[in-house]
Structure 1
């Protein structure tokens, strides 16, 4: 017997409202940008150079990250050692690490007065410069090597252990294992990993702002910032924003088309033993890669902690005021994200996947493009600078939606599949359904998504750089100003404060979601 058509619930209507707001903030701001944009004929040589550099650095960054991740993932896949699980967990840390903090750490190691150049001077070798293309590539590899390693490692671990047992019984050496088992897996995994990292590097603003090093190392996003902030040429900034959106949208479509596949075949889930990797040479090689990546990731952070601890208690008062603004903005961003993401996830579960697609639209935009559109929309009716912090919180909430949807939608579908019919039979709808069914079983993904949004907002140096005046600086912007005025000791203290607050906010939200949470 066919089921009666069910009326659209209030929760779905809230999801419709959230979807409309997101469409306005993405496509609406893009429309505002289109109305102010000029024609391509107005682009100068510097603009075309920025476009070429954007594509070049994204391609090289993705290629280097993936190429270096292959031996690291292989070493982690075939070695068991004390602290292996902790190291794999730490590979996810750069994702929530404030970009400006990581850059300060990289400067402490690779900068003009960094550890590397000190060692080179002792050896009588000319110092190297971190600014320009090499610095952008270094920073992008720092952020994306862990992501590439995690993606490729999943591919390695998906190969059933029975395949390696069979290979050992046939007398396969490491080269034979690589040809028969590992290369086919890499051919499936590497294109998706490359494209995902390419998309991330396309919209990297803070790295280009701090390490770009001149006109020859200017990205499209940095050109938008310069046209907006220095020249106040809204038409030119709008045209560059359209170009940036087009490039990002093409890259996002490519990433969705060449997604990281579900890899591996069925096995018996036996412990993985790698008889082919017992030779001393391979052990030393794997150990060298593991130690090298651990040093590369942890040494800059250790330098930030070491230098920042000395200056933490001598920071100017403006830094602490900026920290307070950042915390309030981050909390507001997390709450706004939940107010948008949860109704969207519920509507995607009850009314179709179109709501899920809308929730991920911002992946094709960038904070600077949305910020430029909002400035154009707000300028005729109010002073956009006065709304710098609310606009920053709102844009950061929208930018964190794709990650939140990935956490919330699968969990919500599982809850509805398990308890949905029972709740319907009990006429459990509206706020009662939310309070008694959904929230108790969704606290873990909600806490994780909120913590991620708060941490990402805490370290953002995108929209606030467009809108803020000196009296409304957030902590990342204040840190950037300290670096620009060469007050590096105070910058290190501010970086440590920013790092601690970002991790604390993520932990508080994530921990709050897990305390007494129902499975």
Structure 2
């Protein structure tokens, strides 16, 4: 008993340190900006319009992403075919794409001169416009549908194969399996997926900036940027950031309250075989869903490749130097993100407190622009903030990717402790031995997925580095932005392709490493 108490105490101590750092980087930097501001002012008409637009587009984008992800995730879960692993990997591609690169691909497909509009013109219809409310929602679904599908797919793969074997022996139909196995899993997974995507859309900046089409399509994050960049009104920026943070906190608490454990128990880690979906109709339906989802997600990326390949041979050396800096920042971000996520997840599971997970998840509701500005204010009196551009970028990126790591690690670690925790306590396993022998073999998939997301998101970050970077040390996204600003479109297309390839590569290395010898 004493050994178990000591283990909980050590876990709580490490988790508390990690959470304290997270709170310092979110609420602490927000407080620094608020203190530095001269006055907060009040909400104007434009601010209320930005709030309404943010809530409407975030709710609709998250709902569409999750609703579409459920049948697509089920199709991938119950089908085995050549190239399935590659398609599962590609599901993460749009979400990890740098926004500026992905928007370019979407415009190439859905813009007025894109493939879809040209096809409509050939058929005698008017071309579509990707700008405005529907363009923002379309872009958010493009970015977040793959993430929702991966989260739902992990939920399906977490159902022990023995449950499906038992269902087959009892003669259950597809409808019975949906009622007794799939719906309880979705009740556990869907609220968390909706939460993460809603908060991503809540803090949307680059999508609204590129596709919003005017003041009527302004998000809170874009309003924060305008308060900083155009007016240097720190008080208004701090007020908007506080409102955004409170909204995120409220949605997080609601989602955590709605989510319920599925209670499937443990299995023998066998591959899941689905006997309930062998009818021709279900096979055709699953094939159509997988094909349509693949076309929707891959076509914009293919257009990026078509435009970028001819420019690769003439890229300036600055692009490759910026690529190396981005890779270094990404690796540092992975280490920091996992170092924060594991102790927080362990504390949340050991204490059985959803508040711990909620606090860690709320970092996604914070504004990266506010965090960057707050760190600038804190560093400036003691050192040159520009000298810390790359370390600060890695730290902020790690914190912003923390919610995705927790969403993947906490349910998996909770199941591990429920299945093997008492046995490990009885054998006196704690610390490194428990991590190496009990946790790590069963956390490979979520750890690899979390590390891949952290690396890829860091590769494509353009927010914090724009506040800190000196002219001589840009990362690849910032270098791409500078090429676009200088209207060097050929070089920009080549740099976009390099950034796309690098983001996919770092994600694949970590995600594949986590899925080695695993049924994913």
TM-score by length of 2: 0.79
Give the SS at the match of 1:456: helix
Shift of 1:179: 11
Partner Cα separation in structure 1 for residue 435 and residue 176 of structure 2: 53
Alignment partner, residue 56 of structure 2? 56
Task: Check the 8 A contact 1:208/1:217 in 2, yes or no.
Answer: yes
| Residue pair 1:39, 1:239 contacting (<8 A) in 2 also | no
Matched, 1:498 2:490: no
Pairs within 5 Å for 1:241-320: 241-259=241-259, 262=262, 271-274=274-277, 278=280, 287-320=287-320
Q: Which residue of 2 aligns with 1:473?
A: 474
- In structure 2, runs of 5+ residues without a counterpart are none
> Which structure would you say has the larger Rg?
1
Query: 2: CA distance between counterparts of 1:448 and 1:465?
Result: 27
Distance, in Å, in 2 between the alignment partners of 1:180 and 1:333 is 41
TM-score by length of 1: 0.79
What residue in structure 1 maps to residue 388 of structure 2? 387
1:385-440 CA-to-partner distances (Å, cap 9, x unmatched) read: 4433222111111122233345556559658765566566xxx97xx869987998
CA distance in 2, matches of 1:138, 1:79: 28
Q: Distance in 2 between matches of 1:105 and 1:343?
A: 38
Cα deviation for residue 297 of structure 1 reads 0.9
* Conservation of the 8 A alpha-carbon contact between 1:38 and 1:236: no
Structure 1 stretch 178-187 or stretch 29-38: which is displaced more?
A: 178-187
Partner of 2:490: 489
* CA distance in 1 between partners of 2:462 and 2:232 (Å): 19
Q: Is the 8 A contact 1:195 1:258 kept in 2?
A: no
Quote the residue 1:325 is aligned against: 325
1:89 CA drift (Å): 4.8
Matched residue, 1:171: none
Contact 2:89 2:508 in 1 (8 A): no
- Distance change (3 Å), C-alpha of 1:232 and 1:320: farther
SS of the residue 2:130 aligns to: coil
Q: How does 1:363-512 map to 2 (within 5 A)?
A: 363-406=364-407, 410-411=412-413, 419=424, 422=427, 444=444, 448-509=449-510
8 Å CA contact 1:136, 1:212 repeated in 2: yes
Q: Which moved more, 1:311-320 or 1:410-419?
A: 410-419
What is residue 335 of structure 1 aligned with on the other side? 335
Shift of 1:136: 0.9
Do the aligned partners of 1:252 and 1:364 also contact (CA within 8 Å) in 2?
Answer: no
Q: Distance in 2 between matches of 1:406 and 1:94?
A: 19
Give the Cα–Cα distance (whole angstroms) in 2 for the partners of residues 116 and 298 of structure 1.
Answer: 14
**Structure 1 residue 138, shift from structure 2 partner:** 1.0
* Compared CA separation, residues 438 and 232, structure 1 to 2 (3 A): farther
> Deviations along 1:8-65, whole A, 9 cap, x unmatched?
9878655544333222112312322443568775322222211111112112212332
Paired with 1:79 and 1:451, the residues of 2 have a C-alpha distance of 24
Q: CA deviation at 1:296?
A: 0.5
Cα distance change, pair 508–273 in 1 and its aligned pair in 2 (3 A): closer
How much does 1:222 deviate? 1.0
Output the CA distance in 1 between the equivalents of 2:447 and 2:191: 31
> Paired residues, what number?
503
RMSD between aligned residues: 4.5
Instruction: Name the residue aligned to 1:202.
Output: 202
Q: Contact 2:204 / 2:222 at 8 angstroms: preserved in 1?
A: no
Q: What residue ranges of structure 1 are gaps of 5+ in the alignment?
A: 169-173
